Structure 1
Amino acid sequence: MVAGGPGVITVRYFAGAAEAAGVDTEQAATGTADTVRRALVEAHGPALARVLERCSLLADGVRVDGDTPVPDGATLDVLPPFAGG
C-alpha cells in the first residue's frame, strides 16, 4: 500500500503492470497523475518505473497525465499497451 494523504484512490494494475507492481489492486494517495506515478514507483521500484513509461492512466475511465488531478475516491487503471484487436 502506498502512504495515504488527504484523499485516497484505488489503483488497479493490469497485465505487465500488475506483474511489475506485485499486486493487482491497492490504495494510494490522491494527487496529480505525475505525483501518483512517482509514489507508485517509490513503493514498487524500478521494474514498475519501466512499465509505467509505456502505460496509460485512466481515472474513472478518463485518461489522465502530467498535472491532471486524480480526484479523491477515483479508480485509477494502469493500462500497459495491449497487442491485438
Structure 2
Amino acid sequence: MDPTPLTIRYFAGARAAAGRAEEVTPAGRSLDDLTVELVQRHGDQLAAVLRVASFLVDGVTCHDRETPLPGGATIDVLPPFAGG
C-alpha cells in the first residue's frame, strides 16, 4: 500500500461546510471510511453536503465507495451545482 497521503479538495458548498479548500489525510481506506472521518472532523454541515456530493478520484468519478483509495490520490468533493 502506498503511504502517500490523500489530498481532499472541496468545491463550492463543500468548501464552505469544511471551512477550507483543501486538506490531506492518510491513504489506505475507502471513500465510505473517508467520508465518516471527514464528518467527524468537520461536523453536520459537511455531512449534509457529502450525502449529495459527487466524488472524483484523480479526475474520474468514483462509483465504488468501498475500494481502498490509492496513496497520493486527489479526491474532489463536488456538491450539486445550480446554474443556468
TM-score range, shorter chain: 0.7 to 0.9
Structure of higher RCO (CA pairs closer than 8 Å, 6+ residues apart): 2
Alignment match of 1:12 (pick from 9, 17, 22): 9
| TM-score using structure 1 length | 0.85
Give 1:56 shift: 0.7
The answer as to whether partners of 1:29 and 1:36 remain within 8 angstroms in 2 is no
Runs of 4+ off more than 6 Å? none
Q: Does 1:26 align with 2:23?
A: yes
Query: In the alignment, is residue 41 of structure 1 matched against residue 39 of structure 2?
Result: yes
Structure 2 CA distance for aligned equivalents of residues 7 and 42 of structure 1: 22
Query: RMSD of aligned C-alpha atoms?
Result: 1.4
Once the two structures are aligned, what percentage of the paired residues are identical? Answer: 52
Shift in Å, 1:68: 2.7
**TM-score, normalised by the number of residues in structure 2:** 0.86
Flag the structure with higher strand content. Answer: 1
Paired residues, number: 80
